[in-house]
Structure 1
């Protein structure tokens, strides 16, 4: 079973309004626009969930969505909860368990924000997200709404899987895991690989573990 190898540190997973081009649970409806620079005000998901996974470190997490993103906080929270309940996520082999809470105290907070707000928040931690990327600086997971809605080239027409990758990857940083590389041609890309920057011969994969419970790892990167 893998264990955290680094102390959590800030990580980046490196125009006019954009029009949403995909749909799915937690996504903006087709044709909905999101603001390039949001107002910095948020709506918290008021729902809660039971504990996903029953062993390992308990991570209590909140979800909040910036005004102007066009997303429903409750739908986003339900989708994130379903990711953590999948045994291919971090809950699979007892590394961690997750519970959605509606208010502090929490160990992690998922924030879906406009590209401009992502740049401002991530930039305050010394990270350059360029209007495109997500970042994590425990306890904060900053998800650029552009990625959540428009996905990436590796996950076209696969919104749920790409959302699972975003959540598993950034939660991994909060748990103490750094970036990984491709373990070999044709093999599943680790969830901790920056897949948006290219698969380098690997196959796109959003999950931490395989269906059989194998940890999908790769070479450590700086």
Structure 2
């Protein structure tokens, strides 16, 4: 992976993966008319048994393999009922259009060139663009963030022509497609960064990752700082030692490798780093 690599584990297969082919049944189910004729010949009790057997043999509606679907004829993500229930919190895929946050923020930071960014949320996915923009603004303006270097400043702008990069919040399916345009495979699970594009996966924004060991707000700050860090030229780093804070450029979505969750590039006022992980 490079600095534009997706930052997270492959995770479970996306819900729009194709189901396995349905085996050809040995014989075609009898029609209702045939069952009625059987009822006259075989009697009511045996006919009811035959009807029940036919019903049990039929697959679940909506999917040719008999698997639960997401309502569009595609196999539901994960086999467990809990995973399907969690999916109802957000759509797997939106229309692909985006709504941009309006207005410009103040310039944050004390010195250095100003990096200007836009914030955009995929339309009609139940997420408020102003709220997402406020969180991104808060993270990037935090004194523990990248501006603590005193080598750069940040400002949110509304116009694409004024922006150096855009922070997107996109559904898993849309983020997968966007990242793939830059040659990255996220399997609908991870966030990624491409030149000029920081693409945050909606599922990770709402759910973080299993066993992260910190509140959702910490993971959100981590994923913004990590992906924006790539835009600033940062590369991946390793956990320094078990029990130590994870560097923000560690791929914490993969796992913490014994480190503790940490969302910030500056810890106790100093730049906090781990050993560079070559090649990713």
Alignment of 1:216 onto 2:272: yes
Count of residues paired in the alignment: 204
CA contact (8 A) 1:64 1:109 kept: yes
Corresponding residue for residue 82 of structure 1: 138
Correspondent of 2:244 among 187, 190, 200 = 187
How far apart, CA to CA, are the structure 1 residues paired with 2:213 and 2:244? 19
Correspondent of 1:11 among 5, 8, 22 = 5
> TM-score, normalization: structure 2?
0.68
| Rg comparison, structure with higher value | 2
Corresponding residue for residue 113 of structure 1: 170
> 1:9 offset after TM fit, Å?
5.0
Corresponding residue for residue 47 of structure 1: 103
1:46-195 alignment to 2 at 5 Å? 46-104=102-160, 105-155=162-212, 158-195=215-252
How far apart, CA to CA, are the structure 2 residues paired with 1:206 and 1:57? 23
**More strand per residue:** 1
Task: Give 5+ residue unaligned stretches, structure 2.
Answer: 9-14, 16-69, 71-75
How far apart, CA to CA, are the structure 2 residues paired with 1:146 and 1:58? 30
Specify the SS of the correspondent of 1:68. Answer: coil
> 1:10 offset after TM fit, Å?
2.4
**More helix per residue:** 2
CA contact (8 A) 1:93 1:213 kept: no
Task: Give 5+ residue unaligned stretches, structure 1.
Answer: 1-7, 22-29
Kindly report the root-mean-square deviation, in angstroms, between the aligned alpha carbons of the 2 structures: 2.1
> TM-score, normalization: structure 1?
0.85
